[in-house]
Amino acid sequence: MDDVSRPSAFRFLKLTIGYDGTAFAGWQEQPGLRTVQNELASAWRRITGETPRLTASGRTDAGVHALGQVVSLCTSSERPEGELARGLNAVLPEDIVVLAIDPAVQGFHATHDALSKTYRYQIHDSRTPPLFDRRYVWHVRQPLDIERMGRAGGGLIGRHDFVSFQTAGSQRTSTVRTILAVEVTRLASRVDITVTGDGFLYNMVRAIAGTLVEVGRGARDPEWVAEALSARDRAAAGPNAPALGLVLVSVRYAQGSDE
């Protein structure tokens, strides 16, 4: 989304936002579709009169949620950060919330300056369907063995070519990424797969989740995940998990990216 001509005096801001992705066609502006970027830009225009250039840490897909999406922009508005946050929350739809607005260093870029991101994939493993969180979890109708899933996830840690876990449709100069941590935890019928990495390919976390579920339900051995990674073939890994269970939890930046 293009901005108006840059004013002579401007400052960079770092917005941290959360959203329920259920009713959105993803983050990125798309003509005729409801997106997070469109709604946030519209709200910014209402309270400042500016047409902003909004850059997110990553373009979440349709149905994907966020607890800590980071957005950068520059503005000529002199309104304090807290006042801007309150103004945005007053006019935004109820499925987007501005959690914080902080001053950022000149040139701060939410995508390029990110050091790592943490995603969580949420599963309800029970014969009984979920009720209150049904829009935020993948319902798997059998108990999952999280110990096996955790062992399998360990085979993904490190710097590897993750082409086996990338869905076609996004052009990348490299499919090599570094996974820093994979953790599988349970609370009652809720299983969470938490993945932290320096970057992710298109649908990569959903492919990891779908693959680990194959291990958790006993269809595959834990060692299969490392074999699928080495195959460098999308057909060698498991299916993509549905979008509704995926949440962007947080994005980490170098100290000094905001002030």
27-45 per-position pLDDT tens digit: 999 999 999 999 999 999 9
> pLDDT over 70 for what percent of the chain?
94
Q: Where are the alpha helices (DSSP H) in the chain?
A: 36-48, 81-91, 146-154, 204-216, 223-231
CATH of 115-250 given 3.30.930.10, 3.30.70.660, 3.40.50.970, 3.30.70.890:
3.30.70.660
Helix (H, G, I), strand (E, B) or coil at 43: helix
| Calpha distance 47→77 (Å, rounded) | 10
Which active-site residues does the annotation give?
61
| Calpha distance 255→209 (Å, rounded) | 31
The count of other CB atoms within 10 Å of the CB of residue 103 is 12
| Calpha distance 74→6 (Å, rounded) | 9
* pLDDT value for 1: 45
Q: What is the mean pLDDT of residues 108-135?
A: 97
* pLDDT value for 168: 80
| Calpha distance 32→42 (Å, rounded) | 14
Binding-site annotation, residues for substrate: 119
| Calpha distance 102→85 (Å, rounded) | 10
Any idea where the domains of the chain sit in the sequence?
11-112, 115-250
The per-residue pLDDT for range 2-14, each reduced to its tens digit, is 444 444 478 999 9
Q: Measuring CA to CA, which residue among 130, 13, 110 is closest to residue 60?
A: 110
Side-chain half-sphere exposure of 230, counting CA atoms within 13 A: 6
Q: Look up residue 65 and give its amino acid.
A: H
Binding-site annotation, residues: 119
Distances (CA, A) of 38 to 21, 53, 61, 188: 13, 11, 14, 38
Contacts for 178 with CB less than 8 Å, ≥ 6 apart? 158, 159, 160, 197, 198, 199
Q: Do β-strands 190-197 and 11-19 pair in parallel, antiparallel, or remain unpaired?
A: unpaired
Residues in the chain: 259
- 11-112 and 115-250 agree in CATH topology: yes
| Calpha distance 37→155 (Å, rounded) | 35
CATH architecture of 11-112: 2-Layer Sandwich (3.30)
| Confidence band for 256, pLDDT divided at 50, 70 and 90 | low
Whether the model pTM is above 0.85: yes
Contacts for 128 with CB less than 8 Å, ≥ 6 apart? 189
